[in-house]
């Protein structure tokens, strides 16, 4: 890939590769006036699979992160926000799955989608340039932020949303309480340097657990030690390096003491690591954490176990997974959002 003036560049195994700016073309292709379709076959929407709160929430995160969003992206944010407020029950829980017939296929709950919804809402509160988006997102966030679950991933996602709210509203008591409880649910780093992870298995979006501990350490009261989150993240990044390139825990996970497999690798894992390393760099001021972001960008651009790009430059879509035989060429919402999110962080060294 030829370097282009003004674009961030990342070093991958001695080569300098240009990081393209994030493209929202495929996200727009997957969206309609209701929300964001979950699946695609290659680049074509699979309408029969409908929508999910999980993906709409991720989409609200990435469009809200854009420093100078176009009018089209602000309209997308409004659409995704309207979907989430429609998904939210009066008690703060959320539906997750909406069919193409516009009927909910589940009851409101507190699964990962609740946590991701609060993450999306919190990011809109903190970063949207549209006051009407920020105000409505804060109402919905506050309604959901009083709920709790014992599931560490759901709590971690919700805690990241709470941290966003505290960026704009540092006195928001409910957000501070949620963030502290999220870090407590994740738990402290373990004492074994060979496995300091607070659980016996790595599953999915693992770096989000370390990230929420890092951001919670900044709370004025009740925050965990910063070193806990940094130690977890440093270990997680190191065990996912293979010959200097990123080789993330596959979809089946990895249990302490078991043989680790290398496929199928999911883009969500790469994006979570990029998020957490960017947060660690911001909190600590240590630019060494940007190496993790560069490795995540490199994974999408082809510096991975198979040396193959994990996105389609023609569509702007991200491929759904890295299998032992190459990319899964379907370009669904989750993988495309993981690509966009990771490329957004490449601006750190532009």
Position 223 scores a pLDDT of 93
Q: What is the 3-state secondary structure (H, E, C) of the chain?
A: CCCCCCCCEEEECCEEEECCCCCCHHHHHHECCCCEECCEECCEECHHHCEEHHHHHHHHHHHHHCCCCCHHHHHHHHHHHHHHHHHECCCCCECCEECCCCCECCCCECCHHHHHHHHHHHHHHHHCCCHHHHHHHHHHHHHHCCCCCCCHHHHHHHHHHHHHHHHHCCCCHHHHHHHHHHHHHHCCCCCCCCCCCCCCEECCCCHHHHHHHHHHCCCCCCCCCHHHHHHHHHHHHHHCEECCEECCCCCCCEECCCCCCCCCECHHHHHHHHHHHHHHHHHHCCHHHHHHHHHHHHHHHCCCCCCCCCEECCCCEECCEEECCEEECCCCHHHHHHHHHHHHHHHHHC
Q: What is the pTM of this model?
A: 0.95
Mean pLDDT in runs of 10 for the chain (350 residues)? Answer: 42 65 97 98 97 98 97 98 98 98 98 98 98 98 98 98 98 98 97 95 97 97 94 98 96 95 95 98 96 97 97 98 97 98 89
**C-alpha dist (Å) from residue 168 to 72, 126, 165:** 24, 5, 6
Per-residue pLDDT, 9: 56
Per-residue model confidence as pLDDT tens digits over 48-64: 999 999 999 999 999 99
Question: Which of 148, 126, 146 lies closest to 138 in space, CA to CA?
Answer: 126
Q: What is the pLDDT of residue 222?
A: 85
Q: How do residues 98-153 score in pLDDT, each as one tens digit? A: 999 999 999 999 999 999 999 999 999 999 999 999 999 999 999 999 999 999 99
Residues written for the chain: 350
């Amino acid at each position: 890939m030829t370097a282009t003036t003004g674009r961030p560049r990342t070093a991958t195994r001695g080569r300098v590769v240009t990081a393209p700016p994030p493209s929202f073309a495929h996200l727009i292709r997957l969206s309609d006036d209701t929300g964001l379709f979950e699946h695609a076959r290659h680049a074509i929407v699979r309408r029969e699979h409908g929508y999910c709160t999980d993906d709409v929430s991720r989409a609200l995160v990435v469009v809200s992160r854009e420093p100078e969003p176009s009018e089209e992206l602000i309209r997308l944010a409004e659409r995704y926000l309207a979907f989430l407020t429609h998904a939210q029950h009066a008690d703060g829980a959320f539906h997750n799955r909406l069919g193409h017939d516009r009927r909910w296929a589940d009851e409101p709950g507190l699964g990962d989608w609740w946590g991701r919804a609060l993450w999306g809402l919190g990011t809109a509160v903190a970063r949207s340039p549209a006051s009407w988006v920020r105000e409505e997102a804060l109402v919905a966030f506050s309604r959901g932020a009083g709920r709790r679950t014992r599931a560490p991933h759901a709590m971690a996602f919700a805690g990241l949303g709470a941290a966003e709210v505290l960026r704009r509203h540092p006195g928001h008591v409910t957000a501070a309480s949620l963030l502290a409880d999220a870090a407590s649910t994740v738990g402290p780093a373990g004492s074994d340097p060979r496995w300091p992870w607070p659980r016996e298995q790595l599953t999915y979006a693992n770096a989000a657990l370390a990230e929420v501990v890092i951001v919670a350490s900044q709370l004025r009261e009740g925050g965990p030690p910063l070193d806990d989150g940094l130690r977890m993240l440093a270990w997680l990044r190191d065990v996912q390096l293979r010959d200097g390139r990123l080789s993330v825990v596959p979809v089946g996970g990895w249990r302490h003491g078991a043989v680790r497999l290398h496929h199928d690798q999911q883009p969500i894992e790469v994006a979570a690591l990029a998020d957490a390393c960017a947060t660690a760099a911001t909190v600590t001021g240590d630019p060494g954490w940007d190496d993790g972001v560069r490795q995540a960008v490199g994974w999408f651009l082809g510096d991975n176990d198979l040396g193959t790009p994990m996105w389609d430059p023609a569509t702007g879509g991200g491929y759904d997974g890295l299998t032992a035989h190459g990319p899964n060429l379907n370009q669904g919402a989750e993988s495309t959002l993981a690509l966009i999110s990771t490329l957004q962080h490449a601006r750190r060294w532009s």
